[in-house]
Amino acid sequence: MAAPSPSAAGPLAGVRVIELGQLIAGPFCGKTLADFGAEVIKIEPPGKGDPLRKWRLLKNGNSVWWEVQSRNKQSVTLDLTQPEGQDVLRALVKDADVLIENFRPGKMEEWGLGYEDLKKINPKLVMARISGYGQDGPYRDRPGFGIIAESMGGLRYLTAEPGRVPVRVGVSIGDTLAALHGVIGILMALYHRDARGGVGQVIDIALYESVFNCMESLLPEYSAFGVVREAAGSALPGIVPSNAYPCRDGWILIGGNGDGIFKRLMTAIGREDYAASPDMAGNDGRVKRVADIDGAITAWTQTQDKATALKILADHDVPSGAIYSVADIVNDAQYRARDMILNIETRDGYKVDVPGIVPKLSVTPGAIRSTAPRLGEDTAAVLERAGLKPETIADLRARGVI
């Protein structure tokens, strides 16, 4: 990993974040803030740490996913179920800007660490609370995971071929959407606090609401027309043409749904009659002829190999692309040109590729300043900075609090 540039401190340098979350949603939120310079102190239970350390494929006993999710963070072990551990967290909160937690609603209050408790210590604290169903409502006490949020939010109903079982996206998209909504909320709350003379506040993020927020026209179409949008496989109903089409050696995706793009697409495939048809000049007319249009495109793609088809479509300025595996991603020049694949050396001494930083900022870009920490490696340094004496830290460690 190249040495960070002077600007690599990032736009969030000086913002101190305490991350109490585990697994995906809370930690992804913290990871995004850390990429842009926030000091993120990750609290982990002593002994095993965050379960993500052991999820999916392991190298040297640790998940390689961990190297992405926990880069740029510090690891502090702390047993929040013990009163002494709760006292330590209160000490850390005194000079924190943000606290992220994704426990079930009520757990923080049970420990005496709810927002009403913590704001007495630090009125400027911004607290992001990520849960399955939010902090209130009849479902607040139910356990919530991303897959359930994707279902309740309306996404799973659409992710299928017509008449077949809905499938998952393949990643924990519900958790990630909640995390990104959490980041947005945190940045708005910090701006309100610092630029508008405000105080801290609570950001209440529900996983299912984060999914639902991305469901586009689903609700207004039902409200206005009583239409229940159904699964449509690779097509995008009501937007034509936008689908996957078979070539001789596999599938490609074509988005020809802009009016000008449609004409260029039809010219590319030799259907000038469709390109010139007034009935197909607008999307509303094309929707009525979706079967004909998709049939014409398929008739052409089936005579082409993928590379040739994509070259022809690119020459006609038609959005199109192959369906990438990770091997395709790693070998793609665009990913490399934009530093979206970074090779780092982990704490264990092996090298591994990890995703680059998103989004790209021109003046204060994000950076990987440190690789994912070993369990508890920063505990003593962080607690000493919070005012705990070395002998107190040694006693807490001996009693399993840290």
Environment class of 334 (CB within 10 Å of its CB; exposed 0-12, middle 13-18, buried 19+)? exposed
* Pair 21, 34: CB distance under 8 Å: no
Q: What does the buried/exposed string (b/e) look like for 339-369 if buried means 16 or more CB atoms within 10 Å of the residue's CB?
A: ebebebebeeeeeeebebbeeeeeeebbbbb
* 97 is an active site residue: no
The span from the CA of 10 to the CA of 21, in Å, is: 23
At position 67, the amino acid (one-letter code) is: E
* Pair 297, 265: CB distance under 8 Å: yes
The span from the CA of 346 to the CA of 319, in Å, is: 38
Of 35, 50, 97, 175, catalytic: 175
* Pair 58, 389: CB distance under 8 Å: no
Q: Which residues pair with 41 in a beta bridge?
A: 18, 74
* Pair 265, 293: CB distance under 8 Å: no
Please give the positions annotated as active site.
Answer: 175
